[in-house]
Amino acid sequence: MTETLIDDYARLLYDYHFLQQPLKKADCIFVLGSHDPSVADYAAQLYNEGYAPYIIFSGGVVRPVGQLRNEVPKTEAEAFFDIAVSKGVPTEVILLENEATNTGANFILTRKLLADKNLDFKSFILVQKPYMIRRTYATAMVQFKDFDFIVSALPDTYDSYVERCLAGGISKERVISNMTGDLQRLKIYPAKGFLIEMDIPEEVWSAYERLLDLGFEGRMAT
């Protein structure tokens, strides 16, 4: 199996996962936690371009030293806060949710944060990694269906995303395993009520199966 063929399979998954919607202004940019600092970079860019007056960072997973440009371990939300402030976002427009450890909890706990602070935001730009955008959308259609929202990510191609991850110390194997794990969740989570069902093209599912056969299964749900 050549590296080129692996990339061809992975590119099919990436392009499927990266559900793209036109950007529009909103009340708030809602950023779901991640190991990838470019997610916070993109959220700060959207804020600085005037797409929303507030940002919520949600994520309670504590990352190791250096993985999110930190000198000490912090939650994803705290690490993203630091990145956004370094990009010129004022601290007073940022809200933090520091407990969520999965996508569903990002939405559930952020709803609680909004209620606790009596914030009447009605529209959101949901920001995540490109290959998690479809699952973010499908989850929001269950957890955030009473809000107006779009999903968005830094507009990378598969090749440019992998190149940037490698430069940041994130392996291609991890990226591809994350993508197979997300496709598995899109398949099995609707039955659990976690997200809405999404049509998965046959060629995408076939590529997923080939990648599993090649060992890219490190991030599967149990």
Q: Binning pLDDT at 50, 70 and 90, where does residue 2 land?
A: confident
For residue 62, the model assigns a pLDDT of 82
- What is the tens place of the pLDDT at every residue in 147-169? 999 999 999 999 999 998 888 88
Instruction: Report d(CA 148, CA 122) in Å as an integer.
Output: 6
pTM above 0.85, yes or no: yes
Q: Binning pLDDT at 50, 70 and 90, where does residue 73 land?
A: confident
For residue 154, give every residue at least 6 positions away whose Cβ sits within 8 Å of its Cβ, in sequence order, or none. 38, 39, 41, 42, 130
104 inside domain? yes
221 inside domain? no
- What is the tens place of the pLDDT at every residue in 93-129? 999 999 999 999 999 999 999 999 999 999 999 999 9
For residue 159, the model assigns a pLDDT of 95
Q: Is the pLDDT at 68 greater than 70, yes or no? A: no
Q: Binning pLDDT at 50, 70 and 90, where does residue 67 land?
A: low
For residue 72, the model assigns a pLDDT of 67
Are 168 and 93 part of one and the same domain?
no
Beta-bridged to residue 152, according to DSSP, are 127
Are 43 and 73 part of one and the same domain?
yes
Are 24 and 128 part of one and the same domain?
yes
126 inside domain? yes
Instruction: Report d(CA 112, CA 89) in Å as an integer.
Output: 24
Are 174 and 141 part of one and the same domain?
no
Domain that holds residue 61: 20-152
Are 46 and 144 part of one and the same domain?
yes
For residue 89, the model assigns a pLDDT of 98
What total number of domains does the chain contain? 2
